[in-house]
Every structure is written in structure tokens, then in C-alpha cells.
Amino acid sequence: MRIAFLVAPEGVEQVELTEPWQAVIDAGGTPRLVSTRSGEIQAFNHLDKAGTFPVDETVGDASVDDYDGLVLPGGVANPDFLRMNGKAVAFAKSFFETGRPVAAICHAPWTLVEADVLRGRELTSWPSLRTDIRNAGGTWVDEQVVVCGKGPNTLVTSRKPDDLKAFCEAAVDEFSGGAGG
């Protein structure tokens, strides 16, 4: 299981990157950091700078065919930067077009709003995205984790860092073929 983690050069919420990353490793998978620029990304702990992480591949060089799933970590700035980058939006959208599972937490669904892939889907997020999700044709619910669909084209979403345990379990289950669900 090879999983892409799509993040902007700065602004990702560190714990929303590192905990799902470790969950993929613990499940025997290979996580890869994909960003809009090469080098390193700057993570944050809310508004304070946290660690830096090396980029494995730029979104311009990445192919959906090389991955079994996609994780979109949150942070307020991260998805806002991503949604302004056409290649990042197209990369995220390609997972839906090819039926691969996607997991997004906190503010990350903003990138999916821009990709126009939420119509008819039920999902959750940080509460401030509720109107954006509804305007994009999705149904927003206030739940710890929401798994919309089973098998190909599954979307796993959660609201915030407090939901990470449930988010990681559901995402890894879907990336592994949905055996536990």
C-alpha cells in the first residue's frame, strides 16, 4: 500500500500529517510526501512553526497510478494554498476519477471543494467549512469520522486532531481494501 500525502510547502498541521503517516507505516504501507515544491515543507502546531519534513515528490511529477490512496492533512493555510494550485487540485481530483480512496481531515476538504468532487457525498470537517461543503453539493455532518462509500472511491473525513485515532483507523482500513469495515 503506497499512500500519497499531499501538502503545501507550509501550513500543514503537523499532528495531522505525522499520525496518519505513522498509521500507514504501522499497517505495512509506504507513505510519500507530495508537495507543490521540492525541498522541505514547514509544518505548524496551530499557528506556531513546528517541524520540517522532506518532500519525496512534487505534484507536477506525481502520478495517481503510483498510489493506492491519498491523505489530505489539514491546517488552516495548507488546503488554502493547495486549492490555489491547479496541479495540486488536479492530483487530488484524479484519485476520485480513478476510484482510489481519499482521506481528509480538518480544513483539508477545501481542496476537495475546489476539485468539485463533493457533490452527493456526506462528510465532516472543521465546522467553519460547513457552508463551503454544502455549496459544493456535499452534506456536512458533525461526527468524529465519516466514511462515504465503500471500496473504490471512498472518502474518509474527520473534524480535528482530537479525531485522529478514529480517522487513522478508518483511513488505513480503506487503504487496505476495507477489510475491517
Catalytic residue numbers? 106-107
* Residues 71 and 32 sit within 8 Å (Cβ to Cβ): no
Residue 59 buriedness (CB in 10 A; 0-12 / 13-18 / 19+): buried
First to last CA, the chain: 17
Which grid coordinates are listed for 180? Answer: 475491517
* Closest among 72, 155, 134 to 107, alpha carbons compared: 72
Residue with cell 507530495: 34
Rg (CA), the chain: 14
Question: How far apart are alpha carbons 26 and 29 in whole angstroms?
Answer: 7
Q: What is the DSSP letter of 145?
A: E
φ, ψ of residue 9 to 5 degrees: the values are -60, -25
